[in-house]
Amino acid sequence: MPAGSPGGVAVRFEHVSKTFATARGSVAALRDVSGEVAAGTVLTLVGPSGSGKSTLLSLVNLMVAPDEGRVRVFGREVRDWDPPALRRTAALVFQRPALIPGSVRENVSLAARLQGRALDHPERFLQAVGLPGELLDRDARELSGGQMQRLGLARALVLEPRILLLDEVTSALDPSTVREVETFIADLCRRRGVTVLWVTHDLDQARRVGDWTWLLAAGRLVEARPTGDFFARPENPLTVRFLKGELVAPGEPAGAGMGERGAGGAGGEAGTGGAGADAGGDPADGGGNARAQPD
Ligand SMILES: Nc1ncnc2c1ncn2[C@@H]1O[C@H](COP(=O)(O)OP(=O)(O)OP(=O)(O)O)[C@@H](O)[C@H]1O
Ligand SMILES: [Mg+2]
């Protein structure tokens, strides 16, 4: 449980909002999101496509800065961190890692090289994610999609991050490898106290690996509960619909009502969520509050 966890709070979002300007108008990617992640726990983040999951992860290592609100990593606001130190502490792993041209060895050693050190036994990091050490001297661009995904993860582990930000990192893997990676990450969490924020579209995975699960819909944190309760006893009608597969990505945001609208609604702490019952097709307007306060 986050509250009272011996490790304290690893990540705290405080009334965070983020709007992107696009050629077709503005898009409110996050609206007044508040919540915290206890150190040494796994948070699984679920929600329809475009609901703000990747944006929320990107705030933690300051790939993206919030327009409003604060994000704290181990108590310190991310903009007060030295950026390289922040990115060593909180490593972001994407679904499709940006590999550098060259061998697998060069890719896996990249972080160490940037820190001015040689990486001893790079094969250990490959083996940790289920890749054979023999791959070290292969050209990274020759790897399969699943192998590349695992290489991206191995590369992040070299940093020995205290927080892992995982964005759909097992989507290209076969089921047995998915389980291997899940077990490996659960182990990191248990043995080394690593905190994991894990975005996934695979609800079974979210249930298997999560201690806590958050549902984002149209940029709002709708429900934040211990994972067992989230799936067994969802409280918010939007969560119920989402778990039934009925809540899909909202329509085109710009000009359709959600993009320009401010962060009306309750917001509140994790667990209280922002959105209420959804009367229409747009999860952004799920709560009466959002409609009543269109600032
Ligand atoms: N750099 C950007 N510029 C403009 N709009 C952006 C940018 N990044 C995200 N968005 C928009 O913000 C919203 C949230 O995007 P985000 O990538 O966080 O969603 P997501 O929940 O991760 O979706 P998916 O499940 O499809 O990965 C979307 O409407 C998206 O188009
Ligand atoms: Mg995403």
Whichever domain contains 205, its CATH number is 3.40.50.300
| pLDDT reading at 177 higher than 70 | yes
Report the number of distinct structural domains present in the chain.
Answer: 1
> Does 159 map to a domain?
yes
| pLDDT reading at 81 higher than 90 | yes
Ligand positioned closest to the Cα atom of 166: 2
Ligand 2 centroid distance, CA of 121 (Å): 33
Closest residue by CA, ligand 1 atom 12: 29
pLDDT (average), residues 78-93: 95
State what percent of residues in the chain have pLDDT above 70.
82
d(CA 135, CA 36): 39
Residue 95 or residue 102, greater confidence: 102
Tell me if 22 CB under 6 Å of ligand 1: yes
Residue 149 or residue 137, greater confidence: 137
Residue 288 or residue 43, greater confidence: 43
Q: What is the DSSP string of 2-42?
A: -TT-TT-EEEEEEEEEEEEEETTEEEEEEEEEEEEEETT-E
Residues 6+ apart with CB under 8 A from 37: 2, 9, 10, 11, 12, 43, 195, 197, 212
Residue 66 Cα to chain centre, angstroms: 15
> Does 287 map to a domain?
no
Tell me if 283 CB under 6 Å of ligand 1: no
d(CA 107, CA 149): 12
> Does 181 map to a domain?
yes
Pairing of strands 163-167, 195-199: parallel
Ligand 2 centroid distance, CA of 224 (Å): 18
Ligand 1 centroid distance, CA of 113 (Å): 32
> What does the mean pLDDT of the chain come to?
83
> Does 284 map to a domain?
no
Q: State pLDDT tens for residues 234-287.
A: 999 999 999 999 877 654 333 333 333 333 333 334 433 333 333 333 443 333
- Domain span at residue 150 reads 9-276
Structure tokens at 30: 């996050």
Tell me if 178 CB under 6 Å of ligand 1: no
Ligand 1 centroid distance, CA of 140 (Å): 28
> Does 186 map to a domain?
yes
Protein residues placing their CB within 5 Å of the ion ligand 2: 54
Integer angstrom CA distances of residue 32 from 101, 107, 196, 240? 40, 38, 22, 22
